Every structure is written in structure tokens, then in C-alpha cells.
Amino acid sequence: MKRIAFLLSLALMVPAVAFSAKKEKAPKALKTVNYENVKIYAQSGRNSQKRGSAVSLIDGRTMALEDGVNDTRAVDIMLFYGKVDHSKTKFFTLFSPGNPTLNIDWEKDGGTSPYCKFEGKSDDPDAYYALKNWKKRNETKMEKVEGIDFDAATGEQINSLSVSDSYWVKDVKVGDVILFELGETSYKAGHKGLIKVVALEDDETKPDKKGVGQNQRFVINIKYVK
């Protein structure tokens, strides 16, 4: 009888052991948020709410300086055309509103480009809207990356990439893919993502400025890890 009782107790234990050995569920894939055909103008659009030289990477909004001063945490990147960092030629630069690696000189003429070029409207004598007077300036890390398929990139792939301590990307061209990491003051601090430059366009409201860099705009696609 003792042997039978032992075998019965052993049989009752088997389901419990099998249950404990059940495989754990695989972690859920990281979701990405995507925005297509976002327009960002060079500095001529900085004070125009219909155009705008700034973009929020978390919601795809194009913003003017006036929008930015009222919601500085939303502005993650800006666009400039001209000479930067003592360059001899002009080109497009995507840059972060703040840059902790620079001691920025805000003087419009002779100051640190592109930052000094983002002054407010002519009827803004106190420079309330000027970038230099924003209460916060997001510090978005960014750099060009190669060999990355923007459309196919997953959240896991994006998060595995490291971003250097660079707060601007110079000589931006159509086809470039740019990796970014949002700064501490952004609404999505620490989140990573990709930007793809899909087109360079003229401002159709200014036909006399066709081909003039500071009046042109980029069309970009954005993907960030939620």
C-alpha cells in the first residue's frame, strides 16, 4: 500500500512540474511612430507660422519661432542654409536648438552660425521670439548613418544604435538618413529615431527666390521609437 501511495503522490506532482517548466512569452516588439512628408524651411521661414524652420520630432509639427517660444520643449530640430563652423561654402544644416558643446555668440553679425541667425520678427524689439531668449532649448543629438534601411528599420534596431555627442548635421542632402536621440528637456527625453530627407523644394509663394537655399525647404520622413 505504501508503494501505491507513493506512486500516486508522484503522479500528482508531474503536472505541477510540467506547469513550472512552461516557456515565458517573448517580449513585445517595440513600436515606432511615423510621420511622412513633414516640411521644414530654412531660416527664411523662421517667423512664418505657415512655413516654419523648426520641427517637433514627436508629433511631426512644423513650427515657427513664435510657436517655439510658447512650447520650447516641442522643438527638436531646426534648418539653416549658409556657412557653418568656419566653412568656406554654404550648405544645409539640421541642428538642435541647444548645443552644450559650443559657447554660442548670439550676435547676429559675426556670431555663432546658425544659432545667431534665428532672431525674431522686425517688430519684436525685445527679441522675445529670438532663439537666444528661449527659456529652454532642447539638445537633440544627431548624426548621419549609412547602411540603414529607413523603411525597414525596427524599434529594436534603432535603439541598438549609438548616437555621438553631435548636435548638428552639416551638408545635409536628399537621401540622407539621420539618427537622433531626444534631449533631457524634450517631451520624449532619451527616445531615439530616424529622419530621412526625401526632397528639396522651392517655396512656391516666392517664385523670384527659386533655387535660393535660405528660401527652400526639405521634405522629411520621421520614425521614432515610442
Q: What are the domain boundaries of the chain?
A: 31-225
H-helix segments, the chain: 2-20, 65-70, 155-159
**How many residues belong to the chain?**
226
pTM value is 0.87
Render each residue's pLDDT in the chain as its tens digit; 226 residues.
445 454 445 444 545 444 455 667 777 889 999 999 999 999 999 999 889 999 999 999 999 999 999 999 999 999 999 999 989 999 999 999 999 999 999 998 889 999 999 998 887 877 889 999 999 999 999 999 999 999 999 999 999 999 999 999 999 999 999 999 999 999 999 999 999 999 999 999 999 999 999 999 999 999 999 9
Sequence-distant (6+) residues with CB within 8 A of 211 are 202
Identify the CA nearest to 177 among candidates 215, 151, 139: 151
Q: What is the rounded distance in angstroms from the CA atom of residue 121 to the CA atom of residue 108?
A: 13
Helix (H) or strand (E) holding 40: strand 32-41
- What is the CB neighbour count within 10 angstroms for residue 148? 16
Cα–Cα distance between 155 and 162 in angstroms, integer?
Answer: 13
List of E strands, 42-87: 54-55, 62-63, 77-82
- Mapped onto helix, strand or coil, the DSSP state of residue 50 is coil
d(CA 156, CA 170): 27
β-pairing, 177-181 vs 192-201, is antiparallel
